[in-house]
Amino acid sequence: MSRVFNFSAGPAVLPEEVLKEAAEEMLDYRGCGMSVMEMSHRSKVFDQIIKEAEADIRTLMNIPDNYKVLFLQGGASQQFAAVPMNLMKNKKAGYIITGQWAKKAFQEAKMYGEAVELASSADETFSYIPDCSDLPITDDMDYVYICENNTIYGTKFKTLPNTKGKDLVADVSSCFLSEPVDVTKYGIIYGGVQKNVGPAGMVIVIIREDLIRDDVLPGTPTMLKYKTQADNDSLYNTPPCYDIYICGKVFKWLLKNGGLSAMKELNEKKAKILYDYLDSSKLFKGTVRKEDRSLMNVPFVTGNEELDAKFVKEATEAGFVNLKGHRTVGGMRASIYNAMPIEGVEKLVEFMKKFEEENA
């Protein structure tokens, strides 16, 4: 068996230890004679899995008691609709457009009310985070929305926007559990798990209790009402059981490895290796304004499309896979999530140096 260094933006690399444990438990989960895929979501065994997962993410993120944790289907994109349907009481909200995912959420929200663009970095291909210290937020807005880490463009909010007292809703899909967060600064934090936490198909929603209400927009499907999901502890219907199980294992792996502050330290170290090289290279260069650089997604280019393609091809052959940039931006992108070992980044940089020498 040989595992590659997988720089995919998502679905992405998971900790090898977690995969091995899951493999060992595949046929017989802890003596119950079946796999987690095969058991009732109402069973005692599964009840323990989901409760432990919730307790562990609460510990990891230091989630206060007045926030609910929901494990839901539909991925992150489902929340683009769920958020306005549940929160748009005044039918108005502000969106900060820092990339494709924010734009998609913005466009979806327009179907349910007045979505206002508060700021945007579209003018420079989303290569920076706009100044959000004094946004045109009005009193009648129900919330302010951001995509905190922009997976495609490689930017990250280093300071949260000044929301002028409005609730902040954040899509954290690609920076989920990569560093400590102050949950109290948000009304809702949500993330699709396939970027940094687990298998695709599930979104984790962390929501302040007063935002879980009955007076949602008329026509909101039962399944999309946060209240339905919260009242039933994510078990209104069959939840993504196996996904919850794997995420639970990743939470335990994170706790064992020092939690989110240790992750942040390691992620900064990993990103620095790559960014330092990009800053010194004569061939490759980063595409993002330095102060807005993501620790998770690192886009870079040579400036020559043919050379980019040659790089991606040779890197793949050498075992560094999924480095091709998003189809909308081109170039390369290395996603270096929690589970990417530091050796992966060191070896990638070694490979890039060699490529630079050979193609000077």
Ligand X SMILES: *Cc1c(COP(=O)(O)O)cnc(C)c1O
Q: What distance in Å separates the CA atoms of residue 72 and residue 222, rounded to the nearest whole number? A: 13
Stretches 114-122, 169-177, 214-222, 271-279: which one binds ligand X (CB under 6 A)?
169-177
Q: How far is the CB of 191 from ligand X (least distance, A)?
A: 8
Are 254 and 320 within 8 A, CB to CB?
no
Nearest residue to 105 via CA among 146, 148, 143, 153: 146
Task: Say how far apart CA 185 and CA 172 lie, in whole Å.
Answer: 13
Helices (H), 62-201: 75-87, 100-109
Residues 185-204 that bind ligand X (CB under 6 A): 192, 195
CA distances from 107 to 62, 75, 87, 285 (A): 32, 17, 16, 32
**Size, binding site for ligand X by CB under 6 A:** 12
Q: Which residue of the chain is nearest ligand X when measured via CB?
A: 75
Question: Which residues, other chains included, contact 222 with Cβ-Cβ below 8 Å and sequence gap of 6+?
Answer: 228, 236
Q: Work out how close the CB of 76 gets to ligand X at its nearest, in angstroms, rounded to a whole number.
A: 3
Q: Any binding-site annotation on 237?
A: yes
Select the residue interacting with ligand X from 147, 205, 212, 254 (CB under 6 A): 147
Q: Nearest approach, Cβ of 28 to ligand X (angstroms)? A: 31
Closest approach, Cβ 239 to ligand X, in A, equals: 15
Please pick, from the candidates 121, 174, 178, 234, the single residue that binds ligand X as defined by CB under 6 A: 174
Residue 237 contacts by C-beta under 8 Å, 6 or more apart in sequence?
223
**360 DSSP 8-state letter:** -
Instruction: Pick the binder of ligand X from 7, 10, 68, 329 (CB under 6 A).
Output: 10
Q: What is d(CA 205, CA 186) in angstroms, rounded to the nearest whole number?
A: 11
Residue 250 binds to ligand X (criterion: CB under 6 A)? no
CB of 173 to ligand X, least distance (A): 4
Helix axes 44-61, 259-280, angle to 10 degrees: 60
Tell me which residues are annotated as active site: 101, 171, 195
Q: Tell me: is residue 171 an annotated ligand-binding position.
A: yes
**Would you list the DSSP string of 33-44?**
SS-GGGS-TTSH
Taking the least distance from each CB to ligand X, the nearer of 96 and 352 is 96
Among all chains, which residue has been given the structure tokens 């620790």?
Answer: 295
| 173 has binding-site annotation | no
- Segment interacting with ligand X (CB under 6 A) among 46-54, 71-79, 229-237, 349-357: 71-79
User: Does the annotation list 151 as a binding residue?
Assistant: yes
Tokens of 69: 């944790």
The verdict on whether residue 42 carries a ligand-binding annotation is: yes
Q: Is 238 annotated as a binding residue?
A: yes
Site track for ligand X across 88-117, x = CB under 6 A: -------------x----------------
Token duo for residue 149: 């880490």
- Residue selected from 151, 178, 220, 294 as contacting ligand X according to rule CB under 6 A: 151
334 is an annotated ligand-binding site residue? no
**Interface region with ligand X, contact rule CB under 6 A, candidates 82-90, 129-137, 170-178, 329-337:** 170-178
CB-wise, 46 or 101, nearer to ligand X? 101
CB of 245 closer than 8 Å to CB of 317: no
Q: Which of 104, 78, 93 is nearest to 190 (CA)?
A: 78
Annotated binding site: 42, 76-77, 101, 151, 171, 194, 237-238
Q: Which residues bind ligand X (CB under 6 A)?
A: 10, 75-77, 101, 147, 151, 171, 173-174, 192, 195
